[in-house]
Chain A
Amino acid sequence: MLHLFSLFLPTVIPSWRFFKTVAPSPRIEYRLIEAGRVEDWQEDRPRPGHLGLGQILRRMLWNPEWNEQLYLVSCSERLIDEPSQHSVDEINLRVARLLPAGQQELQFRLVFVSREQGQIVKLVEYESSPVSLITLQEAVG
């Protein structure tokens, strides 16, 4: 109950400190592992190169995939700030749901992008334990 209260309180007494600082920004990368053969890391749902005006306006009303991506950003930040199995499970499930069914194991890592002394730098801050892809996909349904 106390935990629920701690989740509820910031919604009724919000801080409203949007973009106080531009913090290091997480990207989720994943790879598949099959019988000891390890694939290269790939970015989860890379953004498109360009969006037309029509697509942008349509997204005002219908933007489920992007909002899920923003939720994954929150899960990634929470995983670093307050590590929990919930965040690991949510990232695993949502990465797995977009992959073709397979017998491989899925592993993800969190790469944080930031600017340091004028240069864009990337730092791997978390690497998950591999889990069975098919088990995740069955859990999703």
Chain B
Amino acid sequence: MSGLSFLQQGLSAGQAMGWMQLLLAFAIAQQSLEHLALGALGLRDRMIFVPRLVLCVVMGLGIGGAWPVWGLWGISLAMLWRYQGPYNGGSDKMTMLILSCLSLAHLAPSAFWQEMALSYLAVQLVLSYFVSGLVKVVNPEWRCGEALRDVFRFSAYPVSEGLRGLADHPRFLFVMGWAVILFELVFPLALLDPVALKLALLCAAGFHFSNACFFGLNRFFWIWLCAYPALIWFQDRIF
């Protein structure tokens, strides 16, 4: 298969769900192991994270049909209660969103409702980029590059003090800020073509990778990848 025909290929709903479950098994297992690594505090929550880990292995091996997905959804709900909200902000929200849509897709009484559940996830994934770009472009602080300087200057996210020095490169951050804003705003247009979508998803993964490097948001990188098969299916189904 040539590179171009690979990029043009879509996914069936079943294939998309299969890929998502495989990627989720890895991403959620990674999150769970990180929790268990927090010494005694992690072990205190082992009633949550050991079953979560086991369900990931089961789901990754493709055993148990929908049950591991439903089990992981229930545990994510318990985590929301335990931490009184997301532990890891947007990445926990995305984890719950994917699990909710997958759970509903498995529960769906017909192919139509299964597609509705997957479509909802695909639309939310597009919105996660577009809305993010929209709220930035209407903010003068983002348009002039000052907001991204502030992220490096004093926010809690840069992983080292050395990275704060990037705040002293306003022209570089101005260009980077606009590159992010424009990419997020035009992302929905990638739905018009299967090859453009794959390339846009590659750029988006690169964006999450850089966020992981600069701001330590490694969980965002893995969990956003998990939702990509739903969008590849959606593009093929609708356009």
Q: Which residues of A are interface residues toward B (Cβ below 8 A)?
A: 4, 7-8, 10-12, 14-22, 25-27, 47-51, 56, 59-71, 73-74, 78, 84, 86-87, 90, 93-94, 97, 113-115, 120, 140-141
Contact = CB atoms under 8 A, between A and B. Distances in A.
Contact of B154 (A17, A63, A115): A115
A47 B93 contact: no
A54 B55 CA distance: 31
Nearest to A86: B84
A6 B80 CA distance: 10
B150 A10 contact: no
Interface residues of B, number: 57
Interface stretch (B59-67, B105-113, B125-133, B189-197): B125-133
B150 to A, nearest CB: 4
Nearest to A4: B81
Given A7-B84, A64-B38, A78-B84, A22 B44 contact: no
Contact of B85 (A7, A67, A140): A7
B34 A47 contact: no
A18 B224 CA distance: 14
A67 B95 CA distance: 15
Given A25-B156, A64-B34, A68-B38, A141 B77 contact: no
18 contacts: A4-B81, A21-B141, A47-B158, A48-B159, A48-B161, A59-B212, A60-B218, A61-B218, A62-B34, A63-B34, A65-B38, A67-B219, A74-B89, A78-B84, A115-B153, A120-B153, A140-B44, A141-B43
Interface in B116-152: 124, 127-128, 131-132, 135-136, 139, 141, 147, 150-151
A25 B155 contact: yes
Given A63-B218, A87-B84, 5 more contacts: A60-B213, A66-B216, A67-B88, A120-B154, A141-B44
B159 A59 contact: yes
A70 B96 contact: no
Contacts of B221: 60
Contacts of B3: none
